[in-house]
Amino acid sequence: MDRDRLTFFVSTARGLADLLADELRALGVESVRPAAAGVAFRGPLEQAYRACLWSRTASRVLLTLGHLDGGSPDALYQGLLALPWEEHLSPDGTLAVDVDGASEVFRHTRFAAQRVKDGVVDRLRSVHGRRPSVRFEHPDLRLRLHLDGAAATLSLDLSGEPLHRRGYRLDGVEAPLRENLAAGILLRAGWPAIAAAGGALLDPMCGSGTLPIEAALIAGDRAPGLRREHWGFTGWLGHRPAMWRRLLDEAEQRAAAGSHRLPPILGFDQDRRAVQAARANVERAGVDERLRFETRTLEELSAPRDTTPGLVLVNPPYGHRLGEPAALPSLYRLLGERLRTTFADWQAAVFTADATLAAALSLRPRRTHVLWNGPIECRLLRFAPAAPPGPSRETTPRAPLPEPSPGASMLANRLRKNLAALGRWARRTGVTCYRIYDQDLPEYAAAVDLYSGARVALHVQEYAAPASVDPRAATVHLRELLDALARVTGVAPGEIHLKVRQRQRGRAQYTRLGAQGRAMEVREGECRFLVNLTDYLDTGLFLDHRETRRVIAELASGARFLNLFAYTGTATVCAARGGASASDSVDLSRTYLEWARRNLDLNGVTGPEHQLIQADCIGWLEEQAAARQREPGYGLIFLDPPTFSNSKRMAQVLDVQRDHVRLIRLAAALLAPAGTLLFSTNRHGFRLDREALADLDPQDLTRRTIPRDFERRPQVHQCWRLTRGK
């Protein structure tokens, strides 16, 4: 290996690759090649060490060890066996293997990781007569295999653990920003130039202090990796300790000199615990010279005296992890008012994922940057001093508009008509939770569900408007919808819960939005369910599956029931109430299995015959098949997988269109003779491969399982009954 011409890849969050490339060039890297997920370059090991120590936006620094044939498990193993592992790892050392990417051959990432481990240890055993062991936490060598079809790239993870873990943040509050994203926000907002000119920084909603601390690291020329205690290269045989020590000494000298150049940096938060955590974090970061944190509400916000106007930077809640979305516009309006009046001489930047809330600032951004907070697409809005007012989009119910527009009048009439017709149907059939509106008028793009229990509430899901729709018009239409709902239904504004529904990937619809935890008990026939209208995009009860659950109850008598991707266990409750002799409910999420347990307890479904199993459903099915645990088998199986999932906790990527035949076959293998499998999916445009499943005699139950209140949207799901022969 030529130590002076090594190949590296530095990964980063989406939206930060250009900043990372600039950082690497500033560190002396010349052959920079930006890519979607990071930056590749060739150079000596010292440049990679500098990237580990100094990059503020990087996630990992990977040293490429080889490009291998991933066309088969044996080809991969042979390629690994040929690499000189004795140059990288002692036989008494430890290793760990991470796998990412996608491959038809290695559908199970743990299997791919096992083959990598086998190749390494078998090579070292042949050379030394003994082999290293596996250790997942802080191994001497952490390897990463990236799969791209039949191609495989093997790298040494020099960072060891993600570089955003600087080592200073031990105490956090809800929904903290990752440190490298916070640094990227500061760089985008122009903080280095503002700090160099002596301008102050103020974060009025600082949480555990990540933005102020990263601002101090930048302004004080302090390497973000200076306080980290573990690196992925320290146990690597190619590590050069003297070189690394020299770089650390240089970084210490720069930090000591830079500490005297820190401008005032302030963080405010109304949560006293957050302020305490911020103070502890800043002390661990070693940049507490000019940082000040105070407990202060947004109403109390004012410009600090005796400071040079600089940058107000704020990451307010935007409904994806904190707060109830319908309650946030007033906060944004207050923030916008403070920025316009109190901070007219300052530059400002607001980081948010919600365009509706951003419009409530009533400020016109001079520049907008797209960044990603994990899977959430966000915007960094930058405002010049004394920014002029712009259009405001509000999302909370207000007093009725004085003169409803013709469209609003049509909307109110449609709501009255729907309520009258569906209300009669619901009373006649005993339905207490149902859809009363679903984009009946295209300009009012939302779905509205009514939940009736101890109280009556509305769950409003606004469909994200396409880019072609004027945001101001969408704001007006949403306001008119919320106003019409309050007037026509009589539901109190505080019981109208608004969410924004966008195109979801996998189980993203289950992502927690808040933490109010206000459960509501509702009834469906003889069953009782707990729903949550505030904390998640979905409520815990899929209303379009009402008739599907009825079919399950009809088929369950005397059967052993299996519920795959069980979610909150509502199908299991219906099967048990329908007379199922036993049940197994499988889901990867502990949160939803606990919710399922509460639903089962609420309906008196208890005892060891009703099991909740936390597992990746695909891996669990494969294990059952491998163990040949087919008898006595399940008399009824309900299979309702997500349309797509690449959850890090799942062993493999799931695409329901691509994988449904294999998934159905795995499940059907567990059926008892003459047993029934119900398969359902809500993927639009899904096509069942009838030919591949002909022996299971698939029968289309879609029309039967679309409820009355979803007839206007018959594509909401598809459902089939498949039967294993005797």
Q: For residue 325, what are the contacts with CB-CB under 8 A and spacing of at least 6?
A: 319, 354, 357, 395, 498, 499, 500, 513
62-66, 419-423, 537-541, 719-723: segment of lowest average pLDDT: 537-541
CB 361 within 8 A of CB 376: no
Does 391 score more than 70 pLDDT? no
701 is a domain residue: yes
Which position has the higher pLDDT, 2 or 261? 261
Within this chain, do residues 212 and 354 fall inside the same structural domain, yes or no?
A: yes
Compute how many other C-beta atoms are within 10 angstroms of the C-beta atom of residue 207.
Answer: 24
Q: What is the pLDDT of residues 337-369, one digit of tens each?
A: 899 888 988 999 999 988 878 888 888 888 899
Residues 502-531 pLDDT 10s: 444 444 344 443 334 468 999 999 999 999
Range with the poorest average pLDDT among 326-340, 442-456, 513-527, 546-560: 513-527
Mean pLDDT over residues 173-179, rounded? 72
Round to whole Å and give the CA distance between 465 and 481.
15
Pairing of strands 347-352, 376-383: antiparallel
- Could you tell me if 128 and 191 lie in one domain? no
196 and 337 fall within a common domain: yes
Residue 649 has pLDDT above 70, yes or no: no
Q: How far apart are CA 306 and CA 381, in angstroms?
A: 27
What are 214-267's pLDDT values in tens digits? 999 999 999 999 989 899 999 999 999 999 999 999 999 999 988 888 999 999
First to last CA, the chain: 62
* Same structural domain, 482 and 589: no
Contacts of 399 (CB under 8 A, 6+ apart): none
What confidence score (pLDDT) does residue 35 get? 84
**DSSP assignment, residue 512?**
B
CA nearest neighbour of 478 among 354, 369, 389, 578: 354
* Residue in this structure with the two tokens 């940058």, named with its chain if needed: 311
CA–chain centroid gap for 528, Å, is: 30
Classify residue 621: in a domain, yes or no.
yes
Q: Tell whether 114 is covered by a domain.
A: yes
Name the band, by pLDDT with cuts 50, 70 and 90, for residue 468.
low
Last residue of a domain, one of 469, 502, 535: 502
Domain with 458 in it: what CATH number? 3.30.750.80
Beta-carbon contacts of residue 102 (< 8 Å; ≥ 6 apart): 147, 148, 149, 653
Q: What is the DSSP code (8-state) at residue 391?
A: -
pTM: 0.57
Contact 437, 421 (CB under 8 A): no
The tokens of 419 are what? 């309520």
Q: Provide the pLDDT for residue 390.
A: 43
Question: pLDDT band for position 395 (50/70/90)?
Answer: very low
Q: Of 485, 502, 519, which one is at a domain's C-terminal end? A: 502
**CATH code of residue 546:** 3.40.50.150
Tell me the average pLDDT across 362-387.
85
Specify whether 558 is located in the same domain as 661.
yes
Q: Find the mean pLDDT for residues 160-170.
A: 89
Residues 461 and 591 in one domain: no
As a whole number, mean pLDDT of residues 182-188 equals 96
Q: Give me the pLDDT at residue 388, please.
A: 45
pLDDT, tens digit, 9 for 90 and up, residues 695-706: 999 999 999 999
Quickly list H helices, 603-683: 617-626, 656-668
> Checking DSSP bridges between strand 456-463 and strand 446-452, what pairing results, if any?
antiparallel
Shared domain check, 92 and 21: yes
Q: What is the pLDDT of residues 95-122, one digit of tens each?
A: 999 999 888 888 888 899 999 999 999 9
With bands split at pLDDT 50, 70 and 90, how would you rate the model's confidence at 535? confident
Q: What is the pLDDT, as a whole number, of residue 286?
A: 87
% pLDDT > 70, the chain: 89
**488 vs 416: CA distance, rounded Å:** 7
- Tens of pLDDT, residue by residue over 293-329, are 999 999 899 999 888 999 999 999 875 443 445 557 8
Instruction: Report in angstroms the alpha-carbon separations of 578 from 561, 595, 610, 615.
Output: 11, 20, 14, 26
Which residue range forms the structural domain that includes residue 296? 179-220+262-383
Per-residue pLDDT reduced to its tens digit, 29-51: 988 998 878 999 999 999 999 99
Q: Collect all residues with Cβ–Cβ distance below 8 Å to 90 and sequence separation of at least 6.
A: 132, 140, 237
CA-based nearest residue to 569, from 585, 546, 548: 585
- Residue 286, Cβ density class (10 Å: 0-12 exposed, 13-18 middle, ≥19 buried): middle
Tell me the average pLDDT of the chain.
87
Query: Across residues 124-129, what is the average pLDDT?
Result: 94
Residues 497 and 600 grouped into a single domain: no
Residue 484 CA to residue 421 CA, distance in Å, equals 18
Task: Match 């069980």 to its residue by tokens.
Answer: 566
Q: Are residues 474 and 549 in the same domain?
A: no
pLDDT value at residue 37? 86
CB 672 within 8 A of CB 635: yes
Choose the final residue of a domain: 486, 502, 518. Answer: 502
Q: Do 482 and 603 reside in the same domain of the chain?
A: no
Residue 1 pLDDT level (bands cut at 50, 70, 90):
low
Asked if 116 and 191 sit in the same domain, the reply is: no
d(CA 447, CA 434): 11
Task: Retrieve residue 545's tokens.
Answer: 């599956």
Q: Is residue 233 part of a domain?
A: no
**pLDDT score of 3:** 64
Handedness of CA 597, 602, 603, 607 (dihedral sign): positive
**What pLDDT sits at residue 398?**
39
C-beta pairs of 618-623 under 8 Å, 24+ apart in sequence: 618/650, 618/651, 618/652, 618/654, 618/663, 618/666, 619/108, 619/650, 619/651, 619/652, 620/586, 621/564, 621/663, 621/666, 621/667, 621/669, 621/670, 622/108, 622/666
**Position 225 in a domain:** no
Which pLDDT score, from 0 to 100, does residue 503 have?
45
Q: What is the CATH number of the domain that holds 48?
A: 3.30.2130.30
- Which one, of 248, 256, 259, lies nearest residue 195 by Cα? 259
Q: How many domains does the structure of the chain reveal? A: 4
Residue type, 210: T
Q: Both 495 and 540 in a single domain?
A: no
CA dist 590 and 567 (Å) reads 10
**pLDDT for 474-507, tens place per residue?**
778 888 898 899 889 988 777 888 876 544 444 4
| Within a domain: 468 | yes
Identify the CA nearest to 186 among candidates 375, 308, 369: 369
Residue 171 lies inside a defined structural domain of this protein = no
624 pLDDT higher than 50: yes
Mean pLDDT of 5-13: 94
257 lies in a domain?
A: no
